Amino acid sequence: MIVRVRPPATNLDTLRADLAAALELLSPADRIATMRQAVIEYGGTAIPLRDNTDGGLFYPSVSVLGVTGDGMTEVEAIAEWIKAVTRMAVESETEAAA
């Protein structure tokens, strides 16, 4: 199941937060599918775990809406992306209150 999030494009913070909230509710397989779809719709990159030609590994990374998450698995990279969006929202709220 792929969840599409389409809030008003005028507020990037809201778009990020809505995508993060939707991802948190999904199974690991659905998180991957939804994030890949978000990369296609909004622009960005999603790098799965894979070997390179020199025998090393490319570890999973996802970058969408100006936020990047890296991990040992795609699911972990997406979880790190969600954490980064959450931290950004908290920092923004803290700055606004100051």
Q: How confident is the model over 66-89, as pLDDT tens digits?
A: 999 999 999 999 999 999 999 998
Residue 90 has pLDDT above 70, yes or no: yes
Output the pLDDT for position 34.
95
Please state, in angstroms and rounded to a whole number, the distance separating the CA atoms of residues 43 and 85.
17
Structure tokens that stand for 80 in this block:
């790190």
- Which residues, 6 or more positions from 88, have their beta carbon under 8 angstroms from its beta carbon? 13, 16, 67
Residue 2 has pLDDT above 90, yes or no: no
